Each structure stands twice: as C-alpha cells, then as structure tokens.
Amino acid sequence: MTREYSNLEKEMKIQIKRKVKSDPHAYQLFERKQYDRANVNTMFFLDLSYNQLTGAIPESLGKLTFASYIRLHVNFLTGSIPATLGALTYLQSLRLRGNGISGTLPETLGNLTNLEYLFVGSNSINGKLPESFANLASLSVFDVTGNYLSGHLPDFITNWTSIDKLLLNGNNFHGKIPAGIFNLSDLKTLAISDVGDSHFQFPPSTNVTSLYTLILRNCSITGQLPSYIGNMSSLANL
C-alpha cells in the first residue's frame, strides 16, 4: 500500500466518522468496524414492485441493515412477513400491498420506530394488530385494507399523532372504535368498515379539520350525526 493511498483511506475514514458520529447507533457500528463505509444519511432503496415475483419474502432481507425503503408491492408473493424485518431500524417505508401474503403481522415490526409508511393492504393477513405497534409513533400512512384482521381496534392508534392516512377498512374488526381518532389533527383520510358491535358515537367535538375522505361504513354507529362534519370543507367522500 502506497503512502498516498494510505493517507487517502485515512481521510475517508475520518470523513465517514464525522458523518455518523451524530447518530449513536451508526457510530457504535463504526467503532466496532461493522459500518463498512455505509452512510446512514443516504437513502437505501429496494424497489421490486409491479413484477411477477412469487414465493415467500426471504428472511435474509432482515440483513439489509441500513435499508430506508423496501417496496415489493403488486407481485405474487406468498407466505408470511418475515419477523427479521423488525431488525431494519432505519426503515422508513415498507410497501407489501397487493400480494398473497398470509399469516399475522410480526410483533417485531413494532421495533421500526422510524417507519413512516406501512402498506400491507390487499393481502390475506389475519390475527390482531400487535401491541408493539404502539411504538410506531412516526407513522404517516398505515394501510391494512382488505385483509382478514380481527379483534379490537387498539387505543394506541390515537397516539399516532403524525398519521395522515389511516386505512383499516375491509377487515373483521369488532368492538369499540377509539373516539380519540377524531383528535388526530393531521388526519386527512380515515377509512374503517365492517366493525361489529362497536356502538360507536361521534365525539361532541373534533380536532380533525382537514379530512379529504371519511369512511365509517357498516360500523354499528349510533347517536347523532355531528354538525362539525358539515364544516369540513375539504371533505371529499362520506
């Protein structure tokens, strides 16, 4: 190794170290020499959407440590969502809609605290929404439309204060619909349907003022239709 090359490599390492030092996790990996010149400020994409891919999603995708976006939607994928994806702590977007995925939603996905977009609609997923999803405080879009999910709609949904689109329709939920959903001030699309025995009543007031779409179809709603719905000038569908 020439002296010039050695000095250049040292300089590159110094620059990488500076870039990652502000991120404790990345810096720890760097110090352990596991970082291997990756830059967490770069967006790492895996986009294989709109193809004819078949079979199960490989568990090995959980090794894509610094992946930011994984897009596998609209294929012919089957099997369950690998629990290993919960190791992708830098993941911001996971799009799996429009496949033949079955099984339950892994609890490990609750580790993805940077996740902003979760699209798993139009599959055959069953079971309940995992309690670990209470940790997904960065969510902007949550789409589980058109699956076979069941159980109660958990109260932790009302803590997703950054949520823009909440799409829960086309499942088999039952029981209480959390009224706190109507305090999610950033919410623009709310879609819930086919909730048995909810006995839901609209709250007397709301912080939601920018809805473009409100769907509460076949949800056992009782009580009065509140006047504030008529004041939502942005409302597109009811």
Q: Are residues 5 and 100 in the same domain?
A: no
Query: 207 and 185 in contact (C-beta within 8 Å)?
Result: yes
Residue 143, pLDDT score: 98
Mean pLDDT of 84-92: 95
Percent over 70 (pLDDT), the chain: 81
Whether residue 157 is found in the same domain as residue 174:
yes
154 and 176 within one domain: yes
Query: For residues 160 and 134, is the Cβ–Cβ distance under 8 A?
Result: no
Question: Quick one: pLDDT band at residue 233, thresholds 50, 70, 90?
Answer: confident
Q: What is the CATH number of the domain that holds 54?
A: 3.80.10.10
Do residues 186 and 162 lie in contact, with contact meaning Cβ atoms separated by under 8 Å?
yes
Predicted pLDDT of residue 37: 42
Q: Is the pLDDT of residue 10 over 80?
A: no
Same-domain status, 48 and 30? no
Least confident among 5-19, 146-160, 181-195: 5-19
Three-state SS for 71?
Answer: strand
Q: Does the pLDDT of residue 16 top 70, yes or no? A: no
- What confidence tens digit (pLDDT) does each residue in 125-143 have? 999 999 999 999 999 999 9
Instruction: Say if residue 131 is in the same domain as residue 189.
Output: yes
Residue 88 and residue 126 in one domain:
yes
Asked if residue 15 and residue 92 are part of one domain, the reply reads no
- 67-to-12, 25, 155, 170 alpha-carbon distances in Å: 22, 14, 30, 30
Q: Mean pLDDT, to the nearest integer, of 170-189?
A: 94
pLDDT in tens, 211-227: 999 999 999 999 999 99
Number of domains in the chain: 2
Question: Whole-prediction pTM value?
Answer: 0.82
Q: Which two tokens stand for residue 42?
A: 């770069």
On whether both 1 and 85 belong to a single domain, the answer is: no
Q: What is the pLDDT of residue 237?
A: 52
Residue-range definition of the domain harbouring residue 2:
1-37
Shared-domain flag, residues 76 and 7:
no
Helix axis angle, 3-20 to 24-31, nearest 10°:
150
Place of tokens 């993805």: 112
For strands 76-78 and 44-47, give the pairing: unpaired
- The predicted model gives 87-107 an average pLDDT of 97
pLDDT of residue 43: 72
